[in-house]
Structures are given as C-alpha cells and as structure tokens.
C-alpha cells in the first residue's frame, strides 16, 4: 500500500502498473470523479490490483498536490456507480478501500482496487464485456481483445477447463501405447485396485478421460483424455496452439541454443503423459541421490527430485491450451525453467503459501495423481520452495507475464546463498552468535557481506516469506549488533557492523586521481555478470584505500568497485562518448517519451559501468533531479538499477549501474 505523508512523498510518485494519479478537479477545480477513472478501475481489477490517487496534478513531468474540496460527493458518486450493474459489472470496493489523505492541509483521495477473483473477471463497463474490458500494461489502460475477454469468461464459468466432451473425437484418436503404459504404471502402484479389471472405456471413464453428460445423455472423450493420451496432430485439431518444447541448454545464458531438444516433430505421440515420461528423466539424470532408507527400503530420489516432479506436473496441468504461448521446459547448468500458457488463477502470494488449489485442468491433475505424480492439495509450490530452501539456494521465482502472450513462469535457480568460504568468514567474525541466528538473518548477513549493503527489498527478494518478516529481521540484527543502519524508512540500508562502505569521496576525491595516467590496457574494463553471491567477492574486511585512475577511454577505475565510472563526458574518448550518445538518441531528440522506453534507455546507459546522475542528465537532456525522482529512485527500489554509494543515496555524485542479478 502506498503511504503519503509529506510533499516529498508526492514528488517521488511515478505512475506504474499499480498506480494512477488523476487531478479530478472537475470543471470548477473543486473535485469530481473523472470519467476515465472506471477504465483504470477495470484495468487494475483485471490485472493485479492497484491504487488510484485523486487530487494529484502533473506539471513539467512532476507530480504536485492539487487537492480536492468535494471529497464526500466524490465518495458518494464512486460507490453509487460501483454498485450500478449497468455501469460496472462488479463492485470490488469496501469502505476500507477508500481513504482521505491530508498533506499540508490539502485533501486527497486514495482508492485501493483489489485484483478481481477468477469468478469476477472480466470486470467490464457499460453492461457488455466485449469492447469494455481493460487491462493494465505499465501505466496505461488498454482495451482487452475479444479473444482475451472470451478466455476470461471461460475461466469464470468453468471450474475445470478439461472436462468438456469433445464432439467428433473417439477412442481411436488415442495412442494405444500411451494407454498401455499408463495402465501398467497404475497397476504396478496399486495391484489390488478394482479398476485394473475394467475394460478400456469404463477405465477411461473412471480416470476422467471419458464422460457422460447426465443432463443431455451425450457421452464421449473429454479434453483431458485427448491431451493426456492423444496424438499431437489430433490434439491440435482441438487446440490449434498446442505446443510442447523441452530444451537442454549448455550454458547459463538466455540465448536460444540447445544440445538436446524434445518437441512435436512426429517421432512420438506428442501427448502430455509421454512428454512427462520423456523429459523427467532428462531433468533429473544429473542429480545426486543420497543414500537413505525408509521402512528398510532405499529411497531413490532426493527432495530436489520431488520439487522438479511437482514443477513439471504443475506446468502441464495449469496450462491454458487455448492460449497462444507454448509449454516450455528448460534445463541449464544453473537453473530449471518452466513456462505454461495462461495466467495463474490465484495471486502469486496465495500460490506460495499453498493450500488454495484452483487448478485449470483438474482432470489432468487427477490422472497424474493416479500414477504418483502430484497430490492435488495446493502444496506443489510450497514443496518446491522448501526443497530449494533446504539446499540454501536462491528461492524460486514464480510470476505472471502478459507480454507477448499470457503466461506463467517458474524459475528454479541453483545458486548458493551460503558458499562455504562466506560461512567461514561470518563464523570467524561473529563466533558462536552466528550459529544462533535464524535462517533469514543469515541470509541478510550473507547479502551484506558480499554486496556491501542489504536493503529490505533485497532481503525480501532473496529470502521470500512476508515483507514484514524482512523488516523485523533487519531491526533485530541492528539490535543484536550485527548490522548498522544508514537512513530511515524506505531509504534505509544496512551494512555489517564496523565495515566501511565507500562513498563518492573515496572514488572521486583521491589526491592521485587528477591527471593520472591511463590504467594498463590488459586490465578488464567491464566485469561480466555474476551470481548474487559468488566465491570471488566474499571478503568482509575493511575497504582498500588505493587511489582511482582513468582508463584509456576516460572512465574512472576505482579499486573499491568492480566496474568503472563515467563521471565526466569531456574526459571520455570520442568513441565511448559517441556510443553513449547513440544509446540516448531518443530522449535527446524528443521531450516526451513513454515511461517504458525511457527506462529502457536508462538501462542501456548504465550497462557495464557506473554512470553519475550528472552524466545521465547531460546524455538524456533531462533535469537531474527530475530524472532521480521520476525514474532512477523507482528503478533502484524495483531492483532494475544498483547504486554505487548506498550510504548516501541522494548524493549529487551518485552513480548507477544496471543490476547484474
């Protein structure tokens, strides 16, 4: 929830996917509910929720207090319209959703709009969902296509998308070999099960692949049955966008190059059950299995095996096979990646907590469960998180994406939070007190040791849990004498007690800096990306105090940082300066730029080096303070950018680099 207490808080506002600011002055300037408010209401409800602030005006690209006089009238109009089914399809507002804020005697209205539930979407206007449903993309409200609206309506009315009977599809559309294998696995797991003696059609009816509609008497193959046991050419008759893809990539890079691939190429059936059987062994073949006995029987899999099985099952049973995105599974040396078409049916934080199952294809999930894959209890994601937590790996990332198509992504990175060398250094520094710390407290210390500082947002991103838990953890470590705090509230940063955090004066004020000769050309000018915590940068001793030098391109090379600094455009070589100006060509020639485009330019300008706000201002032809308030501060908070001097975040010599994690 956005908190506003002072004028400074207003200045720092920037519209985004979850924040919209409107003047709402009306014709006489005293306050009126804007007509375009309801587009934002629909868009935020259909996306991830958000906040609308009424009484905020924009001048020269910066938000200012405008104020409202007729607060009560606006509230009445708001609730009257929200409860009018002819105007808005569903009222998502409660009394607690609307709050009057007073800053310096000026009144504003904050309206918090929750994400609509599956049964409530699409939230639409004027009595017709087609053409009147919106979605939030960045800070813009965009009209939903008719195709997207129809998918939302199907999600709303169908608890399970795979139970429908497919007209014109029969048993001979199923792969006999897949069915034989499935039944054999089913029998091996439960030799005495009464379904083992059934003929094929009754067996398929029991597992949900064949169904009879009791109202109409219609019977036939279900969508689940075709997806699970069919041939891919037949499946694509029912689902034209159906696509399965497994890729094993040789390096920890995003490039689309593989050394092994399984996709729909006509050499195998192409159904979900065979896809699972083909790729699960490939995903787990390099995993170590520790020796463990359970009921005098050896256990042939580790918790990581279980996590990967849950992830693979989830990506298949939660997919919306009517959508345009493919099912994609990627194995890399550093991660397992899973993508399925369709957005999550419940918010991400609900899925992380578990216990709230809302599977898109319940029959498919049931079929997998009958052969020991998945449990249909809403515990799959918590199992995955716990397995990674027990290995001290970076928590898996679960997210929705709406571009270019609706999709859900799960990334399971095998990156150590606690390399052995780091643990030894922390134990040496803090002794037995370190062993008494909670897991999240050790994570906070590890981040501070390697990255020099830890913030609330960074700790929450790596350790997971609840944001309030991250706040309590950092306060506790300060009270116990492990960390020191600089700054307050959102801007607070924490560093290990006694550690010296370099500031601008350490980089730019060195007595040997001015007029120094270029550094050796053999030294690497730009360090490559690294994992958040690596073996190469684990020292938690006090900072070195060697002098800074300029390299052959005119960038400052400081022994205190692993990247060079752009601090003076005139000091740069002609080629380096021209390269930066080319990257900034859009803002240099256009006064108004879409936010996402400007952020992309800033990311490009900050890649591979630190660059001061003065140089960014000169390159983009923007006021430095406006740049900070409208873009840089928010990008740092979101983790897109890192700052060179966290101890003094608002120093005019602050420098930024694109985050490398």
Answer whether residue 1 is part of any domain. Answer: no
Asked if the structure places residue 225 within a domain, the reply is yes
Among 391, 413, 435, the domain-final residue is 413
**Cβ(310)–Cβ(380) below 8 Å:** yes
Q: What is the share, in percent, of the chain residues with pLDDT greater than 70?
A: 87
State the pLDDT at residue 43.
96
Please report which confidence band the pLDDT of residue 144 belongs to, taking 50, 70 and 90 as the band edges. Answer: very high
Q: What is the pLDDT of residues 262-307, one digit of tens each?
A: 999 999 999 999 999 999 999 999 886 665 545 555 456 788 999 9
Residue ending a domain, choose from 475, 496, 517: 496
Here the tokens at position 515 are: 């007029």
* DSSP code, position 550: E
Cβ count within 10 A of residue 122: 25
Q: Given pLDDT bands bounded at 50, 70 and 90, which one contains residue 515?
A: very low
Helical segments of 466-517, H only: 467-479, 504-508
What is d(CA 73, CA 52) in angstroms, rounded to the nearest whole number?
17
| For range 183-195, the mean pLDDT | 96
23 with 136, same domain: the answer is yes
Give per-residue pLDDT as tens, 605-619. 999 999 999 999 999
Beta-strand relationship, 397-401 and 50-54:
unpaired
Residue of 314, 311, 319 lying closest to 340 (CA atoms): 319
Indicate if the pLDDT at residue 512 is higher than 60: no
Side-chain-side CA neighbours of residue 609 (13 Å): 22
Q: 639 and 572 in one domain?
A: yes
Confidence check: pLDDT of 509 > 90: no
Residue 162 lies in a domain: no
Per mean pLDDT, which of 439-448, 455-464, 541-550 is the most reliable?
439-448
What CATH number does residue 133 fall under?
3.30.950.30
Q: Are 501 and 647 in contact (CB under 8 A)?
A: yes
Highest mean pLDDT: which range of 153-162, 171-180, 281-290, 379-388:
171-180
Written as six digits, the tokens of 266 are: 């006509």
Range of the domain at 568: 504-658
Question: Which residue's structure tokens are 């929450």?
Answer: 460
Residue-level pLDDT at 62: 72
Statement: residue 533 has pLDDT above 80: no
- Of all helices (H) and strands (E), which one includes residue 366? helix 362-370
pTM of this structure:
0.67
Res 289: pLDDT: 66
Q: Which of the four pLDDT bands, split at 50, 70 and 90, describes residue 461?
A: low
* Residue-wise pLDDT tens digits, 544-592: 444 568 899 999 998 888 899 999 999 999 999 999 999 999 999 987 7
Examine the domain organization and report whether 135 and 283 are in the same domain: no
> Are 509 and 642 part of one and the same domain?
yes
First to last CA, the chain: 26
Report pLDDT for 290. 60
Could you tell me if 51 and 45 are in contact, meaning their C-beta atoms sit under 8 angstroms apart? no
Phi-psi region of 124 (alpha: psi -120 to 50; beta: other; left: phi over 0): beta
pLDDT in tens, 50-70: 999 999 987 766 788 889 999
| The domain boundary residue, chosen from 413, 445, 467 | 413
109 & 74 share domain: yes
Query: 536 and 424 in one domain?
Result: no
270 and 376 fall within a common domain:
yes
Same-domain status, 148 and 84: yes
CATH number of the CATH domain containing 282 = 3.30.565.60
pLDDT tier, 382 (very low <50, low <70, confident <90, very high otherwise): confident
Higher model confidence: residue 12 or residue 625?
625
The model's confidence at residue 329, banded by pLDDT at 50, 70 and 90, is very high
pLDDT in tens, 108-142: 999 999 999 999 999 999 999 999 999 998 788 99
| DSSP assignment string, 272-323 | HHHHHHHHHHHHHTT------EETTEE----HHHHHHHHHHHHHHHS--TTS
Which tokens in the block code for residue 145? 């296509």
The answer to whether position 41 is within a domain reads: yes
Q: Is residue 163 domain-resident? A: no
Count: domains in the chain: 5
406 falls in which pLDDT band (50, 70, 90)?
very high
Query: Above pLDDT 90, what percent of the chain?
Result: 52
Task: Report CA-CA distances (Å) from 169 to 222, 225, 373, 534.
Answer: 9, 10, 27, 55
Is 57 found in the same domain as 198? no
Nearest one of 282, 281, 299 to 290, comparing CA atoms: 299
- Residue 2 covered by a domain: no
Strand partners, 64: 57
Whether residue 374 sits in one domain with residue 283: yes
DSSP string, 410-442: EEEE--BSS-HHHHHHHHHHHTHHHHTS-HHHH
**CA atoms of 387 and 303, how far apart (whole Å):** 6
My answer on whether 234 and 257 are in the same domain is no
46-50, 213-217, 262-266, 465-469: lowest mean pLDDT where? 465-469
Q: Residue 19: pLDDT band by 50, 70, 90 thresholds?
A: confident
* Mean pLDDT rounded to a whole number for the chain: 85
Q: Strand 62-65 and strand 56-59: pairing?
A: antiparallel
Q: What is the mean pLDDT of residues 75-102?
A: 96
- Return the CATH number at 492: 1.10.10.10
What integer is the mean pLDDT of 86-96? Answer: 96
Q: Residue 164 domain-assigned?
A: no
pLDDT for res 519: 33
Structure-token pair, residue 619: 């390159």
């Amino acid at each position: 929830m956005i908190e506003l207490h002072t004028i400074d808080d207003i200045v720092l506002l920037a519209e985004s996917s979850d924040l919209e600011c409107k003047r709402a002055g009306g014709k006489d300037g005293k306050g009126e509910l804007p007509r375009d408010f309801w587009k934002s209401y629909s868009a935020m409800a259909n996306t991830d929720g958000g906040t609308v602030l009424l009484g905020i005006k924009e001048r020269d690209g910066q938000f200012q207090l405008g104020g409202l006089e007729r607060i009560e009238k606006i509230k009445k109009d708001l609730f009257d319209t929200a409860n009018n089914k002819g105007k808005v399809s569903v009222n998502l507002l409660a009394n607690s959703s609307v709050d009057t804020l007073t800053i310096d005697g000026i009144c504003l209205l904050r309206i918090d709009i929750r994400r609509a539930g599956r049964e409530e979407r699409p939230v639409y206007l004027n009595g017709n969902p087609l053409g009147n449903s919106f979605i939030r993309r960045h800070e813009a409200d965009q009209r939903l296509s008719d195709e997207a609206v129809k998918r939302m309506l199907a999600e709303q009315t169908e608890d399970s998308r795979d139970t429908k009977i497919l007209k014109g599809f029969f048993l001979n559309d199923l792969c006999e070999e897949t069915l034989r294998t499935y039944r054999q696995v089913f029998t091996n797991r439960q030799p005495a099960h009464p379904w083992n003696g059934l003929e094929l059609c009754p067996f398929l009816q029991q597992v949900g692949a064949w169904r009879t509609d009791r109202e109409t008497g219609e019977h036939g193959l279900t969508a689940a049955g075709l997806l699970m046991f069919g041939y891919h050419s037949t499946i694509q008759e029912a689902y034209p966008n159906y696509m399965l893809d497994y890729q094993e990539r040789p390096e920890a890079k995003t490039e689309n190059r593989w050394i092994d691939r399984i996709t729909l190429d006509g050499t195998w059936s192409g159904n979900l059950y065979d896809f699972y059987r083909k790729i699960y062994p490939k995903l787990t073949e390099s995993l170590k299995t520790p020796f463990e006995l359970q009921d005098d029987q050896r256990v042939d899999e580790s918790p990581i095996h279980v996590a990967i099985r849950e992830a693979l099952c989830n990506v298949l049973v939660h997919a919306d096979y009517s959508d345009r995105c493919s099912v994609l599974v990627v194995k890399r040396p550093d991660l397992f990646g899973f993508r399925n078409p369709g957005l999550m049916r419940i918010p991400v934080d609900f899925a992380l907590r578990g216990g709230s199952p809302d599977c898109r294809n319940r029959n498919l999930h049931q079929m997998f469960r009958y052969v020991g894959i998945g449990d249909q209890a809403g515990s799959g994601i918590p199992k995955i998180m716990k397995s990674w937590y027990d290995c001290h790996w970076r928590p898996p990332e679960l997210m929705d994406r709406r571009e270019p198509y609706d999709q859900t992504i799960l990334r399971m990175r095998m990156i150590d939070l606690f390399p052995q060398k780091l643990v030894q250094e922390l134990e040496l520094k803090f002794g037995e007190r370190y062993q008494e710390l909670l897991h999240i407290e050790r994570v906070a210390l590890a981040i501070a040791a390697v990255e020099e500082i830890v913030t609330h947002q960074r700790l929450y991103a790596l350790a997971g849990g609840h944001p309030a838990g991250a706040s309590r953890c950092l306060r506790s470590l300060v009270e116990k004498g492990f960390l020191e705090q600089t700054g307050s509230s959102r801007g607070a940063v924490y560093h290990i007690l006694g550690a010296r955090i370099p500031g601008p004066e350490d980089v730019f004020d060195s007595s040997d800096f001015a007029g120094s000769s270029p550094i050796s050309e053999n030294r690497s000018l730009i360090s490559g990306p690294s994992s958040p915590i690596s073996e190469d940068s684990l020292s938690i001793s006090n900072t070195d105090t060697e002098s800074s030098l300029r390299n052959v391109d005119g960038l400052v090379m400081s022994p205190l940082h692993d990247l060079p600094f752009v601090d003076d455009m005139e000091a740069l070589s002609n080629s380096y300066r021209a390269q930066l100006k080319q990257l900034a060509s859009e803002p240099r020639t256009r006064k108004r730029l879409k936010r996402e485009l400007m952020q992309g330019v800033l990311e490009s300008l900050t890649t591979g080096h630190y660059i001061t706000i003065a140089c960014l201002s000169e390159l983009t032809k923007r006021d430095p303070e406006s740049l900070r308030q409208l873009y840089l501060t928010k990008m740092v908070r979101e983790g897109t950018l890192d700052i060179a001097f966290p101890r003094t975040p608002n120093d005019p010599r602050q420098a930024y680099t694109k985050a490398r994690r």
